[in-house]
Amino acid sequence: MVFTTFLAMGILTPVEAQSNPQGGGYWLEESKVTQAAQLMQQGKSIEEAGVSPAQPQASQGFKTLQEMRKEDQNSSVSYQSQPGAPQLTAEGWSPPKFEYDYITTTDECRQNKTSGSETGWIKNHYAFCWSHVATYQVPRKCYLGICSYDGVQFQFTEIGYGSNHDRKMRVVYYLDDILITNPALNGAKLKIDFTCDPKINPGDCKEDPDTPAVERTIAQWKNNNYGIKNFLSDAPPADDNNPDQIGYMEFWPKLTVTHTPRKFKKSIDGIKQTVRFDSATYMFAFPDQYFRNGAIFSKTDAVLKVPITNPDFSILEEAGEHWKFAMDHPEQTIPTVLGKKIPGALGDSPLTRLYTRRHPEEYAKNRNKTRSTCDREFKNEDRTDKQCDEFPFASTWEGSAMNGQDWFSIRLISADSNQAAGSWLGSWYAYDRILDRDPFYVEVEAPVEVASIRSEGAPQDGQDHRSSGNFKIDNIPPYATKLKWTITDGPADAHFDVMHDDSFGIDETIFSDLHNGSITEIKKNDGLYIANPTNTGGKSFTVHVTAIP
């Protein structure tokens, strides 16, 4: 009756009536951080901001290798991988040296919008991070169900480092923006540890004894805000089911705050992340780079980026243009097959690596099918200094003889481009640890025509500005950063504007004084038209709009 009376009088709110005398630990979404800090400063529970206590992680037990690799293939994220340009040496085309592209600072991590998500940010196979705000509310006193709290809040950031040399994964973690609402909490202890959970073999993960859990007072963390944790993996025996000696582990951080005078102790677990270890001896880049062991963040789709508009990669231009055309226009490729589909583009079906020495018969079938098709299709062509390029690659399970439907493309390109591309692809397999039967995608960064329109050499009859019909700019590839405007079939020195057709107002000028070769920003729009042409001599011309990297 007394409790009900207090509620009726407004002295206790329902939230206050549900105050937790044990306190709690929380991970805060970015949108809740400021409000939670204000509630902490007022001694109130941050649960008034709609924040729920952090839930503990739990081991899900062992799984099969097939199950773990399938989980990798169901990834919802991807990353672009671009090794350096191939180099021409006395021994032929050679790949560049391998270089890691790690996440180097907490700022780099936190600036990525996915760093605070449920998956964290996987920058590439060797770089991962997760950053989130942690809050602990420590009960100060409770009376008649109403509690007041002191609080500790900080930004926790973990940065993971894979390896292309050994079965070892390293995590460096940092605490920033440490806030306490009572100086007495400077003496509270914060322990940071990581849990690893083996997924296939018992030896899939071991904690490095040289990097134990770290416990410091809050005051000490302010002066020394980072720590390190290493995980190691034992290679299981190689067998037919696991010839690459693959192991998997899941790991997550555990943060525990203890304040003995208040009899407070709470732990919170961060997100889980997956690491794949392997000892694939065929991770080799010609002529002398060996990567026999590795540890990667595997829950991401690998995308091979081919930047053929970069002058350093000009040797790959012919090969890259072929690969892109095959994915974009499969029915226009050789051999002609009605309804042909060619995989490889992100968003479509992936390619899957076929390790040639493990599957020599399948690889030979791909090569023989390609060779015989080339001999038939190009029997009347001059093939001097040229070779037959194929896509999908012969080193994939989607190659010419493997798909069973002739869903592949061949094209004659220079021997130099073909050999450089083969060397470069082989090195990328090793650099990104693309194992036998690993899926991957290909993205060729090449100019893409997004619009084409014919214009008169002067405004049309009855028009003040318009000299063409309407066109639209859309379907911009994700890597494009600019638009290039090119004039053909007419006066190359023409100048023109681009305006937008507004049915209910005054037409707006979108681009002014363009000419052959003009570069502009990307502006997607429909209802565009060419306007105000000059320097044409009254002759019509065609404008091509190309999206470029």
Give per-residue pLDDT as tens, 251-265: 999 999 999 999 999
Q: Max Cα separation, the chain?
A: 100
Read off the pLDDT of each residue in 423-434 and give the average, rounded to a whole number.
97
The pair of three-digit structure tokens given for residue 205, joined into one six-digit string: 């993960």
Q: How far is CA 548 from CA 483, 515, 541, in A?
A: 6, 17, 22
Give the dihedral of Cα atoms 254, 259, 263, 264; nearest 10 deg: -40
**Confidence (pLDDT) at 19:** 66
**Confidence (pLDDT) at 493:** 96
**Confidence (pLDDT) at 3:** 37
Give the dihedral of Cα atoms 154, 158, 159, 165; nearest 10 deg: 150
- Phi and psi, residue 202, nearest 5°: -55, -30
Cβ–Cβ < 8 Å for 500, 508: yes
- Rounded-to-integer distance, Cα 28 and Cα 270, Å: 11
Cβ–Cβ < 8 Å for 269, 250: no
**Collapsing DSSP states into helix, strand and coil, what is residue 327?**
helix
For residue range 40-66, what is the model confidence (pLDDT) as tens digits? Answer: 999 999 999 999 999 999 999 999 999
| pTM beyond 0.85, yes or no | yes
- Rounded-to-integer distance, Cα 391 and Cα 320, Å: 10
- Phi and psi, residue 488, nearest 5°: -135, 165
Report strand pairing: 226-232 vs 206-207.
antiparallel
| Residue ranges in 378-508 assigned as alpha helix (H) | 415-431
- Rounded-to-integer distance, Cα 356 and Cα 349, Å: 21
User: What length does the chain have?
Assistant: 549
- Rounded-to-integer distance, Cα 99 and Cα 124, Å: 12
Question: Each residue of 406-427: b (16+ CB within 10 Å) or e?
Answer: ebbbbbbbbebbbbbbbbbbbb
- Rounded-to-integer distance, Cα 36 and Cα 39, Å: 5
Which of 175, 215, 162 lies closest to 193, judged by CA?
A: 215
Cβ–Cβ < 8 Å for 544, 454: no
Cβ–Cβ < 8 Å for 488, 541: yes
The answer on pLDDT for 7 being more than 80 is no
Percent share of the chain, pLDDT over 90: 90
- Rounded-to-integer distance, Cα 78 and Cα 124, Å: 8
**Owner of token pair 């690889």:** 363
Please, what is the Cα angle at 420 between 408 and 395, to 5 degrees?
40
The answer on pLDDT for 386 being more than 50 is yes
Cβ–Cβ < 8 Å for 329, 345: no
Report strand pairing: 301-306 vs 439-444.
parallel
For residue range 127-183, what is the model confidence (pLDDT) as tens digits? Answer: 999 999 999 999 999 888 789 999 999 999 999 999 999 999 999 999 999 999 999
**DSSP character at residue 281:** T
**Owner of token pair 């429909």:** 526
Cβ–Cβ < 8 Å for 473, 453: no
Q: How far is CA 313 from CA 306, 389, 441, in A?
A: 8, 17, 19
The answer on pLDDT for 213 being more than 90 is yes
Task: Parse the chain into domains and list their residue ranges.
Answer: 19-57+72-77+114-278, 301-444, 448-548
**Collapsing DSSP states into helix, strand and coil, what is residue 369?**
helix
- Phi and psi, residue 509, nearest 5°: -80, 120
Read off the pLDDT of each residue in 307-328 and give the average, rounded to a whole number.
96
With cut-offs at 50, 70 and 90, classify the pLDDT of residue 403.
Answer: confident
The answer on pLDDT for 12 being more than 70 is no
With cut-offs at 50, 70 and 90, classify the pLDDT of residue 289.
Answer: very high
- 383, amino acid identity: R
Read off the pLDDT of each residue in 536-544 and give the average, rounded to a whole number.
97
CATH topology classification for 448-548:
Jelly Rolls (2.60.120)
Residues 6+ apart with CB under 8 A from 154: 133, 134, 175, 176, 177, 178, 179, 221
- Rounded-to-integer distance, Cα 209 and Cα 213, Å: 9
Cβ–Cβ < 8 Å for 199, 250: yes
- 428, amino acid identity: W
Please, what is the Cα angle at 340 between 338 and 346, to 5 degrees?
155
Please, what is the Cα angle at 56 between 51 and 58, to 5 degrees?
150
Report strand pairing: 386-391 vs 448-455.
unpaired
For residue range 465-514, what is the model confidence (pLDDT) as tens digits? Answer: 999 999 999 999 888 999 999 999 999 999 999 999 998 889 999 999 99
Read off the pLDDT of each residue in 184-199 and give the average, rounded to a whole number.
97
Cβ–Cβ < 8 Å for 411, 270: no
